[in-house]
Structure 1
C-alpha cells in the first residue's frame, strides 16, 4: 500500500510538471501604430490531445493574474475573437509554439496578455501564469533632465542626465539620435545622455528621436547651466583713429548665465590703478593725452566674476607743422585763383567791341587822256585863240565801274583824244 501511494504521487507530480507556458519577454514597450511579437512556448501531458488555444486580455475590472478570462485576442474558433482584434493578429499555429503577433498597436491595447490551452481531458486546462505586459509609447518624444539636486539650478560641475522618453514608456529599440541647437551629437546613440560634469559649453537646447527616422521630440529642452562670466573682453568703438579731440567708447563684453549685473572699469597709469566707471560702456567725448594708459573691466553676476584682458590706449596728437603748411598752401592756391578770375573779368570789360564795316568794292578805272597841243612856230608871243573841244565821257555808275574794273575789253581802255587847234 505504501508503494502504491508513492507511485501515485510520482505519477501526479510528473503529470503536473508537464503543464507549462513560457513567455518572453515578460514586459514589452512599443510605439503606437507598430507591431509586437509575444514569444511563447507551451507543454502538456503527452497522453492528452490538444483541443483549444487562446490568448486573452482581462478587462480592467477583472483580476489581472490570469484567473479571469476577458477579451479574446486570439481563439482557435475565430468567431470567439473580440471585434477589436479581428484581422490584427497572427498565431504561430505550430506544435507547442504559442507565439502571437499583434499589429497596429494603440493605447487601448495596454495591459496583460495570457495564453491558455485546453485538452480533451475534463481537467485538462491550463493558463500560463504571469502573462506578458504590453505598454504603448505615445509620441512625440520628450526630453527630461535629472540631476543630483532635488531643487535648484544646474551649476557648472553638476552631474546631469538627459533622458529621451515618450508617454507611458520608452522602447529600448534604437539607435537614438540627440541634437543640440539642431546639430547632431554623433556620439550619443542611447536613450539617455549623461554628462558627469556639466560646463558652460553644455548650455543649449536639446532634442532627441530615433536615428534615420522622422520621429523626433516635439519640444526642445533648454539645459540651463548657470556659470560665472566667461571670455570677458573689451571692444573699442570709434569713428576713426584715436586722435586728440575724437570721441570713442569702450565696451565690456562677456558670456554669463545669469546675465552680468555689475561692471567696473579700471585705468592703469604710472603704476596706479583707479576705478573710472560702473557700466558696460565707458565713453570719452573728446580724447586727449590725459586719457593715455591701460584699461580693463570686471564683469560680475551671482555665480562669480572675471577680469578682461588689459588694453593700451594711446591718443595721437596731429602734426601742427604739417597742418600749418597744408593750410598756407591751400590759402595760396585760393588767392591765385581769385586773382586770375579778377584779371579775366577786367580784360573783358576793357576790350572794345568791333563795329561791323561795309565793304565797298575797289574799282580802278584806267583811262588816260592825252592832250596834243600844237603851237605855231612862227610866233609864240602872238595872241593865240584856243578852241577847246568838248570831251564827253560816258557817265559812270558804281555798277559800271565795278564791271569795268573786272573786264579786259579794249573798248573800256580806249583813249579819248581832244584836238586843240590854233586859229589866227
Structure 2
C-alpha cells in the first residue's frame, strides 16, 4: 500500500515486498510484509487473492473473507469479533482484493496479520500464511544540537520514533503545553523550565511525552513515557535518553555516573540502588545515551516520580531530567475477557483472555484455572466445549495471590412479578429476572406463543408492562445468557378483566328451515369466565355459564331479534342483535271475494288470496274445468274480473309458492242472470204481502177478543160452543211454498268454498198456490167486522 497523508490519519512506513503463495491456483499475496505506524494513526494492510474458477467439477464462489492474528486448533478468529479491536477494524473487499483498516492504533496492536478466505467447497479455504508484521510505536522529542548563550540555551529539536518515519510528514510542536508551530523540526531558545512535545499533524491527540529542555550547550534528558501503570509484584522498565556536549572547555566530555532517584535533599540525590527499600530490586541498564531503570517485585509504596541524573568529567557537568516519570503501582486487577466464535454460529469455540487495567508486558506468563484447578499457562485459553457448571479464572505466574474474578455461565434465574396477587387489566406490571453470572448476563423475555420475543436482549433485569391487557395473560420466559452459557426460567401471568363484547353465532348458518334444530351460541372473552343470558326482544330465555341456547324444532313463531349478555364480577356487556329468520313453505291460502253477496252479470269482482310464507309467496290464479287445471288466469295476490258474464262462473284456484314449496285453495264463483233477478223480486213482494196481511188480521182479532159482550145478548148454546171452539182452536192454514229441482240456471249466484267432491247443481225456487180455509161461522150477535181468521202462509221445503 502507499503512504497516506498524515492529515487523513495514516502514519505508516512500509517495506514494500510482495509475497506470493500459490497452490494449484489458490494464493494470497500481500502488498507489504512489514508496516511501522504511529500510535493513534490508521493503517491499511492490503492483499489480493485468487482461486480456481471450478473445483471438483463445481463452480467456486467465495463465502467469507477475514483477517486474523489468532488461531487455535484450526479455528481462526475474525478480528471484527475481537473485543480488543471493537469498532476499530474494517474489512474492505472487492474484485479479489481485501484491505484491513485499523484505526486509532495502539501499541498492543503490534502483531502479524494474516488473511483467510473460504469458498463453497468443503476444503476450499486458504490462508496467506506469511502475513504482515505491524509495529506500532510512540513519538519522542530528540535534541539535535544546541548553542550556548549567556541567559538561555538555543536548541534544535526533532520528533522521532523507534521506527523510521516518512520524511514528508509534518509535525505540530507544543511548548509548555501550548501549540507553538508546525514543521519537521523545532529550533528556539529554551529556558531551563521549558517543556516541549510533538505530534504528527492530524494526530494531535497522540503527542509525544513532554521533555524538559534543560541543558547548557546541549545538556538534556528526555523520558519515553511520563506515566506508567504497573501492578504489585511485577517488574517495570522506565526509559530515558540523554545528551551532552561532546567537548567543553577544550576537553572531551565523558559520562562518569548515571542513576535514578526519587529523593533529593540540599542538592544531594539518593541513587535508588543505595536505598534500602529498593535493595536487590533495582537495576540501572545504560548504553548509547539510553538508560533504563528496572524495578522488580513492585510494591504499592514504589508509586512515585522517578528522575534520571548523569554526571560527567566536566566541572559542574551534571544534569537531571527534572520532569520525571510517574509510576503507579496497584493490584493486578485482572479480568477475564470471554469471546465466542462468530464465524460458525453453531460452534461452541470460546477464547478466554487475561487482562489488566494496566498494560501488561508481553513476556508475562499466566496460569489458568478450571474449577480452581490449574489447566494452562498461556495468555489465551481456548475452550471447545462449554459446561454450564464450569468456572474459570486467571492469574499472573508468580502473582497467584492476585487472581482475576471467576467467570461462569448464568445460574438458573429467579423471576418475580410485581404487584403480586390479582392483576387487573390496565394496571402496571413489572417482571423481574435475575441470575448470578460473570460476565454479567443479558436478559431476554419471551412469551409462550411460538416463543415470541417480547423484549430485545438487554442487561436490564426488568420487563415492564405499563398498561397490561387481557392478551398479555400467559406464560413468560426469562433467558439469562452470557458468553459461557444460557439458562431460563418462567412465570405465569393471569390478567383479570370484565367481559369483552360478546360474539353471537347461529348454527347451522345460512337459511333456517321450520322444523330444523338451531343452536345460538354466545361467547365473550372474560376472566373469570362470564355467565350468559339469552333474550328474545325483552324476554329472558336462558341463563347460565354455557351461553348456548338450543331450539330443537324451530317454528315460524321463533323468528325475531335475539341478543345475549355476558357478565362477571368486574362488569357486564350486551352483544349486538341477532335476527333469526325462520323460513317455511306457504300455508294453505285464504281467499275472499269483493263485493260480497250476489254476483250479477255485468258487475266487477275482485278475488284476493293470502298465505303465510317466508320468504313471501308468489301467487297464481287458475280456473278449473272439472278436475283439470287450465292455464293461469292471472298472477299476483289480487285477481279482478270486470264486466262479469255467466261464462266467468266456475271454480277458481289460488296457488301460493316460494322457494320451499307451494299450497292452494279453490273457490266456487256463481254468476246470476238479470231476468232471474226480476222474478226473485216479484216472489219476494208476494211473500211480503202475505206476511203483512197475516200480521194485520192477527192484530185485529186480538183487539176484538178483548171487548166485553153486551149483557142482554144471549148466545145459542151451540153457537156459544162454536164460538169458544173458534176462539180456542182457530185453524191456521198456510200456503206451502215448494222448492223443486230447477232445469235451468240457479236463481241466486252463491259464492262458497267448493268441495272437490261436490258436483250438485243449484236448485230452483218454485212457489205453489196459497190456500185460505175459513173458520166455523161466528155466533149470532157477535160483532162482525173483518174476518177474524188469521191467514198464514207456510213455506215448506220438500225433502230432496
TM range (shorter): 0.3 to 0.5
TM-score (norm 2): 0.28
Higher relative contact order (CA 8 A, sep 6+): 1
Of Structure 1 and Structure 2, which has the larger fraction of its residues in strand?
A: 2
Of Structure 1 and Structure 2, which has the larger fraction of its residues in helix?
A: 1
TM-score (norm 1): 0.47
